[in-house]
Structures are given as C-alpha cells and as structure tokens.
Amino acid sequence: MSRYVHKSHNVSVLIYHMVSPAKYRRVVFDTEVDAVLRKVCLGIEKRYEIEFLEIGTDRDHVHFLLQSVPSYSPTKIVRTIKSITAREVFRRAPKVKRQLWGGEFWGKGYFITTVGRHGSEEVIRRYVEKQGRSGEYETLHQNQMGLFDQTDD
C-alpha cells in the first residue's frame, strides 16, 4: 500500500505504473525468473528510495507498480530498475542469457505513467479548485469569477 514519504522539507506520494518488455519480446518470464526478479527488487528497495507495491510478470514483459521520491526522475527510476535487474537475472538465472543470445535482458523501450492515490484527475481537480473556499465564500468566488468572464462592449 502506498504511503506518505516524509522528508526534511517535503511530503510526497509518487506512484508509478511501469511496463518493460524483455529484449525481442522473448518469452523469458517463468516461475524461476519471476522469483529472481522479485528478490532483486527487494534488494533495490533496500538500496534506493524505490518501493515495489506490486510486480506482475507476463511471459514477455513486466508490470511494476512502484512508489518513489521527488528527487528521482521517472527516467532514473527506469534506468535503475532495468540495469540492476538485468545484471542480476543474468547472474542468477544463466539460462535466460542463453535465451537472449547473450545480449541484453530488457528491450530499449518502456512505458511509465503516474498513478493517483486518491482517484482520478477530475477528483483531484475538484479538490484543488475548492481549496480555501467554504460554502459562504463559494458564492462570492463565483460572483468574482463572473466579473472576469464579462467583456467590455
């Protein structure tokens, strides 16, 4: 489950959905490789500020639901995960390296998107829009906003 990450000057909840295919979209994820990948990800959690909320392997690609901190860009997160998991899967499951002709583990591409903790963009948009306004001020605010919508003739 995601959590608020408290740092000295900020609090954040940054959740990402990342998908990465195996090189050549080869079918390399079986139960053994899945187990190795999960263990490696636990090690990444200990060394980096990346928490894996879910990991779902399909035969030729992996979905990660993860949480990180603002100082890590999405690119840095992807690069960290792909480089460490590739090296360790090849080391711990050598059959995969043979399946991929001794080349790279991951394909060059990936997909990453942010995931809202509290709901859709529209829910957040309404929440932000209502900040600082209670019922008595809402009418005033709407009236003031109406002034800006009028055009001079």
For residue 13, pLDDT beyond 80: yes
Domains of the chain: 5-117 (3.30.70.1290), 121-153 (no CATH)
Measured between alpha carbons, how far is 100 from 35 in angstroms, rounded to an integer? 19
Predicted confidence band of residue 151 (pLDDT cuts 50, 70, 90): very low
* Strand partners for 30: none
Please give the average per-residue pLDDT across 2-15, as a whole number. 90
* Strand partners for 55: 64
71 DSSP 8-state letter: T
Measured between alpha carbons, how far is 48 from 138 in angstroms, rounded to an integer? 44
- Taking alpha carbons only, the member of 88, 112, 101 closest to residue 35 is 88
